[in-house]
Structure 1
Amino acid sequence: MLHADDVIQRLYEAPPDGFVAARAEAIAAARQAGDREAAKRLAALKKPTVAAWVVNLVALRRPDLIEELVELSTALRAAQRELRGDQLRELSTQRRQFVASLVAAARKLATGAGAGAAKLPLGDVEATFTAALAEPEIAGQVRTGRLIRAVSHSGFGEVPRPRLRLVTDSPEDASFSSPDTSEGPDTDARELTVAEQRSREREHQAERRSRELERELNAATAAERRADRQLERAEDAEREAGHLVEDLDAELAELERRRTEAVADVARRKTARRTAEREAAEARRRVGDVQAALDDLHR
């Protein structure tokens, strides 16, 4: 039997429609070889979605492309942290081009492995590569070649949300005293002061509204993250239930095969018993005939 890691790589390289049967075969081989640890590892493997399988193909057969992805991801995050606009735009262009080349390579590998090009979920594949560029953790998962589902990323990189420089509601900022008419009868100056006051009032209103929207945005973002986590948990639970059904189906198929073999063995043994009964009866008859001949001889 191959080493467990080699078997796992072979399982994740093969199209997912044959994953369950191949896993059951590998588990049986490991148990027959007495390798209980390998059998346990293999039993814990999950069937990948088609999109995850396509990404795994790139990681397993073109690891050089994944290394380029990691390097570009590092450069993008560095540019974002330092807010280098020109470099960031250039790297963003490279990102789009590189993701397109990754998807093209993935499509070629998948069709070469026997998958129909029209049925490939290339949108999910692209989303996974884009997420890997944005988040080191996802890039690390992609690098293993053992994804079980596609992933996505709502934003890109580590660019922090802009912090608004707001004017506080301090007495100094909020003091809009009426112009002192005793300083002079200049009507134009008074009108200008009123206009400035109204302008500052509008600015304060805009700033308050900005703070309100910022709070609403933060709350909505937190709610979105909670919903995403809940969705992921629901998807994981659904997937686990699906894997359990697949495992039980495989076990039922194995039990049905063994039952068929057992029924056939019972039939063979029944035939052998009947043959033995006939032979025993024939032997008894012959014993009787010989005994009778001896009795006649001694009379």
Structure 2
Amino acid sequence: MLTVDVVVRRLYEDSPEGFVAARAAAIEDARKAGDREAAKRLAALKKPTVAAWVVNLVALRRPELLDELVGLSTALRAAQRELQGDQLRELSTQRRKFVSSLVGAARKLAVESGSAAGKLPLGDVEATFTAALADPEIAEQVRSGRLIRAVSYAGFGEVPKPRLRLVTDDDPVPEAEPAPAPVAAPEIDHRRRELERRRRELDRELGAAMADERRADIRLERAEEAERDAGHLVEDLDAELAELERRRTEAVADVARRKAARRAAERESAAARRRVGDVQAALDDLT
């Protein structure tokens, strides 16, 4: 029996169309072999979307390209942190060309695996590679070769620090703003207390909002997990239905064969009875 890692690689390397049936077969093989842990691990695998599968092909068959992706991503983030304008522009151009080359490599691998080029979701593939360049965590997911859905990224890289400008004698001197009127000490104390009170209120509101956010995130994760489990169940049921339909087709064909055999036997039986009658009649004539 193949190792679990080899089976998992094949599942995510082969077309998603056969994923459910192949996973079911692998689980059955593991159960027959008495490896309950392997069967459990295989049963937890999720079917990838077509876009995720195309990205996985690059990770599994051309891992050196994703090594280059990680290196370019590190250089881009470093350039943004250090505000190296020329280098950043050069790296950004290199990023666009590199993402295009990744998409091209992914397309070629998918076509070699039997997919029609016109039906490939290359936009989602490009968005995933772009997100991997921007986010190291996404890059690691992509490199695993077990991505189950495409990802996207709204921005790119870290937020740069503000640029500082040196003022020279040639720069126009702005007109001085009028100095604020002096504020009496009691009024200052009143404002300070009011600001402190408002800050405490905002701190409480922030704490409550963050708690609500955490609870909402937990509910979202549970809802997403429930949705994935439901989808997984549907996939399993679809596979079972397909198997039952195959068995039904075979049974119908077997019934047709048996019906034909029965009719042939009936004809043979009738012919035999006629022959018996003929022989009996001949015997009666002799007597």
Q: State the partner residue of 1:242.
A: 231
- CA offset at residue 160 of structure 1? 3.9
Query: Which range is displaced more, 252-261 or 89-98?
Result: 252-261
- CA offset at residue 240 of structure 1? 3.5
| Secondary structure, aligned partner of 2:86 | helix
List per-residue Cα deviations over 1:126-156 (Å, max 9, x = no partner): 0000000000000000000000000000000
Q: State the partner residue of 1:29.
A: 29
Q: State the partner residue of 1:15.
A: 15
- CA offset at residue 244 of structure 1? 1.5
> Amino acid of the residue matched to residue 179 of structure 2?
S
Equivalent positions of 1:15-164 (< 5 A) are 15-160=15-160, 162=162
Q: Given the two structures, how large is their TM-score scaled by the length of structure 2? A: 0.65
| Secondary structure, aligned partner of 2:56 | helix
> 2:12 touches 2:56 (CA, 8 Å); kept in 1?
yes
List per-residue Cα deviations over 1:255-280 (Å, max 9, x = no partner): 6778999999xxx9xxxxxxxxxxxx
The answer for unaligned runs of 5 or more in structure 2 is: 166-175, 182-209, 259-287
Larger radius of gyration: 1
- CA offset at residue 254 of structure 1? 5.1
Aligned partner (choices 146, 154, 179) of residue 175 of structure 1: 179
- CA offset at residue 250 of structure 1? 2.5
The answer for unaligned runs of 5 or more in structure 1 is: 166-171, 178-221, 269-299
Question: Aligned pair in 2 of structure 1 residues 173, 113: CA closer, same or farther (>3 Å)?
Answer: same
CA distance in 2, matches of 1:35, 1:75: 45
CA distance in 2, matches of 1:239, 1:174: 63
> 2:83 touches 2:161 (CA, 8 Å); kept in 1?
no
CA distance in 2, matches of 1:232, 1:94: 36
CA distance in 2, matches of 1:143, 1:7: 18
| Secondary structure, aligned partner of 2:91 | helix
Equivalent positions of 1:226-265 (< 5 A) are 237-253=226-242
CA distance in 2, matches of 1:257, 1:111: 29
Question: Aligned pair in 2 of structure 1 residues 118, 259: CA closer, same or farther (>3 Å)?
Answer: closer
CA distance in 1, matches of 2:233, 2:251: 26
- CA offset at residue 239 of structure 1? 3.9
CA distance in 1, matches of 2:160, 2:240: 51
> Amino acid of the residue matched to residue 146 of structure 1?
R
List per-residue Cα deviations over 1:45-69 (Å, max 9, x = no partner): 0000000000000000000001000
- CA offset at residue 243 of structure 1? 1.7
> Amino acid of the residue matched to residue 175 of structure 1?
A
Equivalent positions of 1:174-193 (< 5 A) are 175=179
List per-residue Cα deviations over 1:207-234 (Å, max 9, x = no partner): xxxxxxxxxxxxxxx9xx99xx798876
CA distance in 2, matches of 1:130, 1:97: 11
> 2:81 touches 2:161 (CA, 8 Å); kept in 1?
no
CA distance in 1, matches of 2:237, 2:77: 45
Question: Aligned pair in 2 of structure 1 residues 235, 96: CA closer, same or farther (>3 Å)?
Answer: farther
List per-residue Cα deviations over 1:175-208 (Å, max 9, x = no partner): 368xxxxxxxxxxxxxxxxxxxxxxxxxxxxxxx
> Amino acid of the residue matched to residue 44 of structure 2?
A
- CA offset at residue 247 of structure 1? 1.3
Q: Given the two structures, how large is their TM-score scaled by the length of structure 1? A: 0.62
In angstroms, what is the RMSD of aligned CA positions? 3.4
CA distance in 2, matches of 1:113, 1:120: 12
